[in-house]
Amino acid sequence: MIRAKGIAAFAAKQPLGPYAFERRDPRPNDVVIDIKYCGICHSDVHQARDEWGGSQFPMVPGHEIAGVVTAVGTAVTKHKVGDRVGVGCLVDSCRTCESCERTLEQYCLKGANFTYNGLEKDGKTVTQGGYSNVIVVDENYTLRIPDALPLDKAAPLLCAGVTLYSPLKHWKAGPGKRVGIMGLGGLGHMGVKIGVAMGAEVTVISRNDSKKQDALGMGAHHFLATDTPDALKAHAGTFDLIINTVSADIDMGPYFQLLKLDAALVVVGVPEKPLSIHPFPLIGMRRSYAGSLIGSIRETQDMLDFCAAKNITPDIETIAPEGINAAYDRVVKSDVRYRFVVDMGKL
Residues that bind Zn ion (CB under 5 A): 41, 43, 93-94, 97, 100, 108, 159
Q: Between 104 and 263, name the residue whose CB sits nearer to Zn ion.
A: 104
Query: CB of 130 within 8 A of CB of 35?
Result: yes
Q: Between 117 and 313, name the residue whose CB sits nearer to Zn ion.
A: 117
Q: Between 94 and 216, name the residue whose CB sits nearer to Zn ion.
A: 94
Residue 145 CB contacts under 8 Å (≥ 6 apart), including other chains: 66, 84, 85, 86, 151, 154, 304
Q: How far is the CB of 95 from Zn ion (least distance, A)?
A: 6
CA atoms within 13 A on the CB side of 331: 25
Of all residues in the shown chain, the one whose CB is closest to Zn ion is 41
Q: Between 159 and 336, name the residue whose CB sits nearer to Zn ion.
A: 159
Query: CB of 64 within 8 A of CB of 156?
Result: yes
DSSP state letter for 59? B
Q: How far is the CB of 245 from Zn ion (least distance, A)?
A: 12
Q: How far is the CB of 40 from Zn ion (least distance, A)?
A: 9
Q: How far is the CB of 118 from Zn ion (least distance, A)?
A: 13
Q: How far is the CB of 164 from Zn ion (least distance, A)?
A: 11
Q: 163: closest CA among 271, 296, 316? A: 296
Q: Between 260 and 330, name the residue whose CB sits nearer to Zn ion.
A: 330
**Pairing status of strand 288-291 against strand 259-267:** parallel
Q: 91: closest CA among 140, 133, 46? A: 140
Q: How far is the CB of 216 from Zn ion (least distance, A)?
A: 26
Q: Between 44 and 240, name the residue whose CB sits nearer to Zn ion.
A: 44
Q: Between 100 and 307, name the residue whose CB sits nearer to Zn ion.
A: 100
The C-alpha atoms of residue 178 and residue 259 are separated, in whole angstroms, by 10
Which helix (DSSP H) or strand (DSSP E) does residue 302 occupy?
helix 297-310
Q: How far is the CB of 159 from Zn ion (least distance, A)?
A: 3
Q: How far is the CB of 214 from Zn ion (least distance, A)?
A: 21
Query: CB of 206 within 8 A of CB of 213?
Result: no
Q: 334: closest CA among 255, 205, 251, 248? A: 248
Query: CB of 284 within 8 A of CB of 166?
Result: no
Q: Between 154 and 200, name the residue whose CB sits nearer to Zn ion.
A: 154
The C-alpha atoms of residue 279 and residue 275 are separated, in whole angstroms, by 12
